[in-house]
Structure 1
Amino acid sequence: MGDATKARIGDVARVAGVSVGTVSNVLNRPEIVSAGTRERVHEAIVELGFVPNASARQLREGASRTAGMLVLDIANPFFTEMARGVEDRLIEAGLTMALSSSDADPDRERRVLEQFAQQRLRGVLVTPSRGTGDNLGILLDQGTRVVLLDHRPSGLGLDAVASDDVAGGRIALDHLLGLGHRRIGFLNGSLDIKQCRDRHDGAREAIAAAGGDPDADLVEIEVAAMDAANGYGAMLQLFDDHPELTAVFCVNDLLALGVMRAARERAVSVPADLSVVGYDDVAFAGELAVPLTSVRQPTYRMGAEAAGLLLERGRPRQILFTPELVVRASAAPPG
């Protein structure tokens, strides 16, 4: 094998018996080169150990081979699975991905988007930290393609892939109400986050449709962060302040994980004494000691579809998925 530090595009052309322009086409526009010629060029690349210079290619093409992805929390398995869908689709197209987390903090979000803007990325997939999407102007003002991820467009005129979170909140509460629960806890994030607002609205709609009073029947706590530690702390608060509750709905599965830990510590049986419903149906949901009933979103597919929109050059499109309830052992009629 040749020395990768010395092999140049001209060396590949000489070994393959083609022009430098043909090698360039194989690397950048393979669809216009015949299969036989592509094969000879690839064989020469392997023989010489040639590595294309991505930086030089970017300068020639005026476009990065990297796309950015900014989500609320990369520690959340929901976003990890979504990122895998994005990455797989981008790799198929010859692109790589830069992944960051805003921690649902608008100031941190702004700093990351400014860094993305400086890198002149091919495009950016964003889950905005707040419903307004105010920071997106950093990218839009310089013409960077933006796709909203896990976020409905809200009149921004952008490509978007999301799940119907109002429907998701509604089916979670419909399930608990159908089991006979009437006083239900709800662990939610900030209502400035659109997904949290939508799930809040859906939950209240379900109670109202069942003839209840959302203000009286739904005890909602806003957590500082949507993780297991905050779910644990919030559930301990509910046990102390509202011992009459027989069920709790969590805005994501990480909060539900914390709820189950708090229940174990207080010797509260799930589901005999407390029913628990989560949201996202992440990988661990079905593997818990008491498998978690959860609202499922097609997470991987949402990521792949969003990456596909980023690669398109057509008019803005919005793709909205319908969530579904996955019933397991964590919810049952009140004892």
Structure 2
Amino acid sequence: ASESGAGGKAGTTLLLDEPTNHLDADSVSWLRSFLKGHSGGLVVISHDVELLADVVNKVWFLDATRGEVDLYNMGWRRYLEARATDEKRRRRERSNAEKKASALMAQADKMRAKATKAVAAQNMAKRAEKLLAGLDQVQVADKVARIRFPDPAPCGRTPLTARGLSKAYGSLEIFAGVDLAIDRGAKVVVLGLNGAGKTTLLRLLGGREKPDSGSVIAGHGLRIGYYAQEHETLDHEASVWANIRHSAPDTSEQQLRSLLGMFLFTGEQLDQPAGTLSGGEKTRLALAGLVSSAANVLLLDEPTNNLDPASRERVLDALRRFTGAVVLVTHDPGAVQALTPERVILLPDGTEDHWSDEYLELVELA
């Protein structure tokens, strides 16, 4: 939460859920500046730690372990230090209390052997139980999805080719005459300003839309895994279980349950409609579908959006290890560096070039 600044409508309280998702660098910069200058209140949920460091002056931490909300009346960086200090204190207090309780219980056990001391032993045991009951639960380490893309299915030398792709929406031409060939194991980044057609190109390659002209040609053994930034590959009316079953109809129930467990879906959550999941949960479910696909060409549209920092690192590590082909659209320079691309496609012209780290400056602008 934040209450600082001097812009926007006076007295207005803004409620923002992941406001920097899908924004290019210029838009993110503008939004940060606007929020810093906003004179009203601000309640924000975000995985963008730079945004939090810039604009908040209070933090509400929802501690699932203790079932409580902790208020930290300070900025983001000081909050991280204070929370770490609090957790160390809780662990120290709990450790000391457990040692005392253990000693009391041991003494109570000895005293129970004598009938004359049975009441005293019982009182001592109650003291030990009360000592432990009054302690805060220690914060357990946040669970993180275990993400690893599977070994790609065998395929020909060039599993995916596009020739002369053109697409327009009404009178608005997105791009025209785009050619590309995705070789086995190729790593390709697609760059372009907002509206240049990056997402549209992936949708065409993945068969989600048809081009106005040109063709997409499937090579020998092609198996595509498509991740959409808006989670359109999920059936939002169907359950988590139905979605993963649809993604991998030939996989055993035990293997699918194990896979969902790796992505932190267990118990009653398997029956939950996908449309009711949070943004991060939808991302994890969509990624689980990719993992089950044995795809040899991954089409990834902003795969690190909605993820907490720890889960993002797992996705980046999975990208580093994947030996199949990847066509990546992202505003995340870290994702590009993890991919170590060989080529870049610049839209809307469809120009292709060998990758150079000089293009990293364009990633956040794309």
Q: Taking structure 1 as the reference length, what is the TM-score of the superposition?
A: 0.29
Q: Taking structure 2 as the reference length, what is the TM-score of the superposition?
A: 0.28
Larger % of helix: which?
Answer: 1
Which has more radius of gyration?
Answer: 2
